[in-house]
Every structure is written in structure tokens, then in C-alpha cells.
Amino acid sequence: MKQVTSILKMFFFALLLIGGTACTSNFADINRKDYEVDKNELGRENYNLGATLRGLQGLVVPVKEHLYQFIEALAAGPYAGYFGATNPWTTKFETYNPSVDWQDKTFSDVFTETYPLYRDLRDQSDDPVALALSKLLRVAIMHRMTDMYGPIPYSKIVDEQGGISLSVPYDSQADVYKQMLKELDEVDVVLKENLNLGTEAFRKFDDVYYGDMNKWHKYTNSLKLRMAIRMSYVDPATAQQVAEAAVSAGVITSNADNAWLTVEENRASMIFNGWNDHRVGADIISYMNGYNDPRRPKMFTTVKLDERVGGQNVKVDGYAGIRIGIDVANKDEVKDRYSKPVIATESPYLWMNAAEITFLRAEGALRGWNMGGDAKSLYEQAITLSFDQYGLTGADAYVADSQNKPQAYTDPMRTYSVAAPASTITIAWQDGDDKFEANLERIITQKWIAMFPCTVEAWSEYRRTGYPKLLPVVVNNSGGVINDKVIKIRRLWYPPREYSNNQYITEAVKMLGGDDNGATPLWWDKKPRTP
């Protein structure tokens, strides 16, 4: 795997390459094929603008297969209970001992790929809508980064003259959130002023909403709602204020407004279908098997399972997940024993859906906030939206189910089975103020199912609330730092190269309020818990 330097070193290397073009100004022309267009020609057709916007869109959920694998499948996915590895790696995120180059990938690459694009777009265009969309996409990308690490360089990257540099101090996560919410307010103003802008203005450059500013406006406010709920245990007053304002301004309420990034080829599909490095996690399969969830065929592939029928062992089609953090001796022996996510080369990437946003509103309403409906109705509406997204009926019966519970995990390999389920939470809503915590668990559990495979968001919500309840990793190589039988990993730690190459890392660690390891909670991770 490629060795990645620190943010600072990589950024100055990029600047060196850009600055060096002055000495070889005709190099590109000499090597340009007759049928290729040069930079000026690209600019005339706004292709540069399109390339930078599409480039930023491709980093909200990474579309490059290796970056997707590191962040979604190797790190956040397992921590969310979504994915487990089939490869016989002995150093990996799942077992809390990733190698140095793996740590670099999840941290440095996102910064060094995002900011050249962000800088280029700001240099290429003074169009207020283009600048607003770039600002929105930066928030969407970096929100995931701060929720994985905590303090990050953010507010000081763009100076008052519009210059961009990564050689700046970090911001605390509280300050990152404050700045992001400010920027989302600014984006909201611009988009609101341009709701009637024809889709043709940005259709060619936009692979999510194809130039529909009404939908981008809803996405902006939905992102604000997502961030507001995240602050509910650390700053409930501000959280309520931001959440109510976002809902009032208009959030995603229909599957027609779901944020999907459409690509020519979904490179993530090769990770599951070609490389066979990962399978669906035991946690989400156990919950959905226990609920007899009708969404399973739309989400997961089936495998052959052993079942006792009429006194004989028979093979039946079913769904099986892989335990997180196991030692795998031979990939070929396990890859066909566990379900894969249903994903093809033509599949889009999910950023956000109406079900998730409606579950957020349900939680807000549960807390007594004005979310445009009561908690029970919004909870049931969210489940219905998820069923509708998959083209399924039967949501009414599902939301009324007060009997089915998550299933105890049975390992098809008969190695890592667990006698008791991680949770006994049922689906049907329970009325009464004394049911607050049980209903919160319902909301988060069903949201976790409905937002699959949004890994970083699912892991973040697990850390914030403790739900859904997840099985501990099988092999824990943290050296006692993380006791995930009590509380699972809280954050990713900064890669070692930051300590040798980044002068600001020491101050960043001080902002954590704890050691730079996976046991230190983030700023918003403040829910009172009893082991």
C-alpha cells in the first residue's frame, strides 16, 4: 500500500508541483494529443468547474476503491456493526491494531484530496451557487473526519483573502461544529435565493441532484439536523435551536429527495464481489434475522445454512453475518459462508435518505423539540419510508410487531456463536415517559438498519447513544487500552507521522481532553453511562 506523508508534507508537495509548472510551461502542450483539449479550452466549457465539483462529491463517501475500503469497510464499517473482514490480516482496525500506513490512509488522504479541489473551484469561479455547493461539500466531507478523529484543521485553512493552507493549527471539535453550522447557514441563504435556478445551470456538473437547488437546500438543512442531534448530550440548548430551525426551513421528507451519488462504475462493488475482502457484519444480520425483516433480500445476499428439518440436516437459503475482529486463516474457506451487501457496478452511493432524517426528527420529538410531528408517528413514518425506498409493502405490520427480538448470533463456521442476543429491544413503540430510553433504542436501531451502509454516521450514532447494542470484537489487540466488553472504540487516533511532521499535533491532542487513542471520547460523546 502507498506510504502517505503528513498533511503538511503532502500539501507542500502539491504546491511544489503546481508552482513548478512555470519553468516548463509548454510541457503539457508538447505532450498533448491532437484530440485532447487544453486547460483554457476546458475552462471555456466549464469542464474545470464540473471536474472539481464532481471531485468533491466523490469524497463525501469515497468513490475510489482503496479509500472507500480503508474508511468504510476496514474502519467505520466494522465499528458500526456493518462489515467484517474475511482476509487473514493480523493488523487491522477491527482488532484495534492497524498498521501505520493504514492509519495514514484514513486521515491524510482525505485532506490532501479535498483541499486542492476546493482551492481550484474557488479560483475558477465566482458564481455564488458554485461556491455555496463547494462549501457545503467541504462540510459534508470534513464532518465525517471530525466525527472520526475529533480536532482537525478547519476554520483557519481558508484565510481572509481566500488563500488556502493546511499548515495551520487544528480546531477543537466544538469549534469545528460551530464553524460548520455557520457555513451551512451561509449555504442555506444562497440556495434559498436560487431555488428557481434552472437545473441546466449545474446539471452537467452534479451527479447527486442534477442541478436541482430545491433538493440541495433540503440536503443542507438535513445535514444541519444531523449535526444538531449529534450535539444533544453536550449542548442540548443549541442542539434544539439548530434542529428546530433546520426542520422549519425544510429537510428531506421524501425518498425522491434522497442523496445518492450516481457514478459510471461503482468501484466499491469490487471490494465485496471481486476481492471478497469483506462480508456483512454479524450484528446487523442478527437484528434483522430476529425481526424477520422483509428488507433483507434487498440489502444482503443469501448463503447456504445448516438447518435441522425432520431429524435431518438440510441446507437452506438464509442470511449470515461475520463476527467483527476475528482471526481468519483462509479467506476462501469463509467468503462463501457469509452474506454480502447487495451492490453492483451500477449501484449509486448513499449519502443520506428520508428515513434517516425522519428518525432524527423522531428523536428530537422524543426530547420535546418541535419536529413537525410526535415521536411515535415520526418513528413509524421513518420505517415506512425505508420500506418504500426498497419497494416493499408490509411496514404497517412491521411497526406493530411487539414480539420479535434480535436473534442470538449463530456462526455458520461454528466458531464464534454467542448464546444470547446483544439486545432484546422490540420494534413496536411503547407509550409513556418511562419508556424514553427504550424508545430511543428503537429509534437508533431502526435508523441503523435504514441508513445502511452509511458507516461513519452509524458508528457516530452508536458512540453518541450506545445503540444499537453491539457484540464485542473477538480479538482485541489494543493492549488493554480499549475494553470493548464495557465500551467500544470511541475514535481513530492520529497517525504516527503527524507527530514527526506536523508542528500542531501536540496542541491538537491537548484539545482531546485525554490520550490520543481509541478510548478517548469525542466532544459530543457525553451521554452518561453505567458499565
> For every residue of 187-242, which 3-state class applies, written as one string?
HHHHHHHCCCCCHHHCHHHCCCCCCCHHHHHHHHHHHHHHHHHHCCCCCHHHHHHH
Residue 265 falls within a domain, yes or no?
A: yes
Whether 301 shows a pLDDT value over 50: the answer reads yes
Residue 316 falls within a domain, yes or no?
A: no
Instruction: Write down the pTM of the prediction.
Output: 0.92
The three-state secondary structure class of 313 is: strand
Residue 212 falls within a domain, yes or no?
A: yes
Q: What is the mean pLDDT of the chain?
A: 91
Buried b (16+ CB within 10 A) or exposed e, 351-366: bbbbbbbbbbbbbbbb
32-to-22, 43, 300 alpha-carbon distances in Å: 17, 16, 46
Residue 333 falls within a domain, yes or no?
A: no
Return the beta strands (E) in 335-446 as ranges. 349-352
Amino acid at 458: A
Residue 434: CA atoms inside 13 Å, Cβ hemisphere, count? 0
- Segment 250-266 shows an average pLDDT of 98
The count of other CB atoms within 10 Å of the CB of residue 341 is: 23
- Confidence band, pLDDT 50/70/90 cuts, at residue 177: very high
Element (H, E) at 389: helix 375-389
- Segment 279-306 shows an average pLDDT of 98
Domain that holds residue 194: 7-269+344-512
pLDDT in tens, 334-363: 999 999 999 999 999 999 999 999 999 999
- Could you give the CA distance from residue 69 to residue 67 in angstroms, rounded to a whole number? 5
- Please name which of 300, 268, 217, 226 lies closest in space to residue 74, comparing C-alpha atoms: 268
Residue 277 falls within a domain, yes or no?
A: no
Residue 369 falls within a domain, yes or no?
A: yes
Residue 279 falls within a domain, yes or no?
A: no
Structural domain count, the chain: 1
Whether 12 shows a pLDDT value over 70: the answer reads no
CATH number for the domain harbouring residue 74: 1.25.40.390
Predicted local distance difference test score (pLDDT) of residue 5: 39
Residue 453 falls within a domain, yes or no?
A: yes
